[in-house]
Chain A
């Protein structure tokens, strides 16, 4: 079932001459996991911000379940979409538990008093992500991986069907990247729709089921991983040479390999 539909999204930053986004159109169905891939400055973050209602001055339509996002109240929108930004420049040192509880905001009042139902959900989310040992720890004392998982937990506590993530795996070591991507697969099984920006092309290929390539504010390629991740599209999007795409024999997914210039 179609959950999110973007129609001819155009956006220009007030101080810039060129469009940041140009005629972006695509549809996402329930339970899809989508990787947004493209060069730096292609407009990926801007696109996520537009989808979750942080930027309003765009033209085109964004429909969630067929209804324009402008027609949702901010509380109702918060029950449908959660967003995990790229950086966490937190200054104040809340505990993991406190941060996860903030995800319940759309369901409770400004004072933030949790009911037993809210506490149950928070506990479930914390257990699912394996954060139970660090719930009382302060955020700024956590490792990069633990911080990411905490922010995911907060987005899950928000119980939204769509989760947007901006480069969730940057700054993570290999082990935490894999732990993280496996959680994405678990989330997919629970029916969540996930759109994430990533520069880890091979991780996207192995763990997600759809890729949208974006360059200079336009959708270049869009489709299932096996159909669109190939040498031709990488050349077009990133303008790179000296690489090849090969199938992972076990998963049958395309992977990218690089060759230093001297070896060519």
Chain B
């Protein structure tokens, strides 16, 4: 498919999904109402206005950022690991970030986000080192070590929370991914930092393209492979840490989205990164709207919805892969 057409379709889709997400929820809002709220000067005084501007809109912005970031991180991790079956969730990186955040919460350290980032970066390096044997990256080692690291850290988080008398329901919600708690200041900062990092990631992405085929060939054609790997490991860690500290552990977005996008536009990361961001935003926004509406007024963690989509897709990919 032509990239121009694809991007137009995505932008239209994003707009439509935003509108649908704005009007749906436990309090129904009609399109007319939405229109008048947006063009009314006294917009923030009505109840619907409050719901739209104070609750739904920030949550939509959050879903866009998190969906986009997770998809981009997935695309980059897949390229570094030369393995289309990984994402921040499967490699245990999200759980690493959640673990860092948990430590910060329990011991009341200054910055949860910073600890989430440390946790994520440390886990990536840990899983990478363990899955490399004799200079060869083993695909199945990587998957198993990643999944085990993730589930070990999740258990450890639950254990620590129980031990230190934290609210378990909240912790479980967070481990399943949850877009409901929004710290507007953190959201704004995260937008700025994430977009800057993603721009740098696009800048170096042709080197990552070459690296994603073969490391020896990359080195011989002049790519500084160690620098590129370290750069993308740390960038992926920061992006995952930010997204986990905002919304918990949301699985499978980073796995499924780059796959879909690659199917349409190919594996060139210079295109894959921006397109994955857009597609990931749309995907997570749809999932979150379903999570809000399906059992309204109750909400379920968005990770349940992405898992329902993502886990079967992952198994299908694993089986069909030669």
Asked if B207 is at the interface (CB within 8 A of a chain A CB), the reply is: yes
Within 8 A of B (CB), among A70-109: 74-75, 77-79, 81-85, 88-95, 98-99, 102-103, 105-106
- The CA-CA distance from A90 to B215 in the complex, in Å, is 11
Q: Mark A13-54, 1 if CB is under 8 A from B, else 0.
A: 000000000000000000000000000000000000100111
Are A94's CB and B219's CB within 8 A? no
A195 to chain B, nearest CB (A): 14
Residues of B within 8 A of A112 (CB): 205-207, 209, 270
Q: Is the beta-carbon distance between B221 and A82 smaller than 8 angstroms?
A: yes
Q: How far is the CA of A196 from the CA of B312 in the complex (A)?
A: 46
Chain A residue with minimal CB distance to B200? A110
The secondary structure that dominates the B interface is helix
List the B side residues contacting A111 at CB < 8 Å.
Answer: 202-206, 270
Band of interface residues on B: 20 to 34
- A74 in contact with B219 (CB, 8 Å): yes
A110 touches B203 (CB 8 A): yes
Taking CB atoms, residues of chain B closer than 8 Å to A110 are 203-207
For window 256-281 of B, CB contacts with A under 8 Å fall at 262, 266-268, 270
What's the nearest-Cβ distance from chain B to residue A178, in Å? 26
Contacts of A84 in B (CB 8 A): 217
CB nearest neighbor in B for A98 = B268
Nearest-Cβ distance from residue B90 to partner chain A, whole angstroms: 16
B212 — which chain A residues lie within 8 A by C-beta?
A: 91-92
Distance A90 CA – B223 CA, assembled complex (angstroms): 17
B92 beta carbon closer than 8 Å to chain A: no
Residues from chain B with a CB closer than 8 A to the CB of A94 are: 209, 213, 266-268
Cα A111 to Cα B268 in complex, Å, equals 11
User: Which residue of A74, A91, A94, A105 has the most chain B CB atoms within 10 A of its CB atom?
Assistant: A91
Q: Please name the residue on chain B nearest to A76 by beta carbon.
A: B222
Minimum C-beta distance from B208 to chain A (A): 9
A169 at the interface (CB under 8 A from B): no
Asked if A158 is an interface residue, CB under 8 A from chain B, the answer is: yes
Taken together as a complex, chains A and B put the C-alpha atoms of A99 and B212 apart, in Å, by: 12
- B207 CB contacts on chain A under 8 angstroms: 105, 110, 112
Report if B60 contacts A (CB, 8 A).
no
Task: Give A105 to B83 CA distance when docked, in angstroms.
Answer: 23
Q: Which residue of B lies closest to A157 (CB)?
A: B221
Residue of B nearest to A74 (CB): B222
Decide if B210 touches A54 in the complex (CB within 8 Å): no
Cα-based distance from A52 to B84 in the complex (angstroms): 29
- A-B CB pair tally, cutoff 8 Å: 88
Candidate in B83, B84, B202, B209 with the most chain A CB atoms within 10 angstroms = B209
Contact call B214/A88, Cβ cutoff below 8 A: yes
CB distance from B84 to the nearest CB of A (A): 6
A102's partner among B84, B209, B270 (CB-CB below 8 A) is B209
Contact A75 B203 (CB under 8 A): no
Residue in A closest to B207 when the chains form the complex, CB atoms: A110
Q: Which residue of A lies closest to B82 (CB)?
A: A91
A-B contact pairs, 30 of them (CB 8 A): A54-B216, A74-B224, A83-B220, A84-B217, A85-B217, A91-B82, A91-B83, A92-B82, A92-B213, A92-B267, A94-B267, A95-B266, A99-B213, A102-B206, A102-B209, A102-B210, A103-B221, A105-B207, A105-B222, A106-B221, A106-B222, A110-B205, A111-B202, A111-B204, A112-B205, A112-B206, A112-B207, A112-B209, A112-B270, A138-B266
The 10 A-B pairs with the shortest beta carbon distances in the complex, nearest first, are: A112-B206, A78-B222, A92-B267, A106-B222, A83-B220, A105-B221, A75-B222, A110-B204, A110-B207, A105-B222
Binding site for A on B (CB under 8 A): 79, 82-84, 202-207, 209-210, 212-214, 216-217, 219-224, 262, 266-268, 270
Interface residues of A (CB under 8 A from B): 49, 52-54, 74-75, 77-79, 81-85, 88-95, 98-99, 102-103, 105-106, 110-112, 138, 158
Given contacts A54-B220, A79-B222, A94-B213, 14 further A-B contacts (CB under 8 A): A49-B216, A53-B220, A54-B216, A90-B213, A90-B214, A92-B79, A92-B84, A95-B266, A105-B206, A105-B222, A106-B221, A111-B202, A111-B270, A112-B209
